[in-house]
Structure 1
């Protein structure tokens, strides 16, 4: 189970890094467009479009960060739950079921 949570966390971190890198590149290009059109009154509509795109990009990046933050909270909660359940599992029934679930997951994943 811990491996599954760890892999998911790693994938989400990689996704966040990719999102940030793409966001930074888009932001830089939007600023270049804005600079190029700033002195042209006839291209005012482009400036407005760039502003709208920057706002949408900010929301996407914010959503990505919120998703990562929520996952971190969920990950901590699941780890705490598993530790508590195992500590309370005097007959080790839960621990055995958890071990079997992880082994099944790894077997299916390995196919």
Structure 2
């Protein structure tokens, strides 16, 4: 990567810490212009209640690029002794698509 790029905002979809609470977007930080769109895409097309299938999404709109990595197993275990799956969303200014895609590929490794 030619230069350091940092996301303008991030969000994490995970299970809440409190017992009995369900999955949701419990972490949202920064400037997320495309969040409503990506939230709808996740809810309608990408959410996997079993976590067996890994998915990703790329959203390019309004001079922003959003990258979502879905259903990644975490080290956390819920009260039923099941793995908690997390979804990461990062949003960038559209500076260099090549740099952003290289950043995303680094997250997948």
TM-score range, shorter chain: under 0.3
TM-score under structure 1 length normalisation:
0.24
> Which structure: larger Rg?
1
TM-score under structure 2 length normalisation:
0.24
- The structure that is helix-richer by fraction is 1
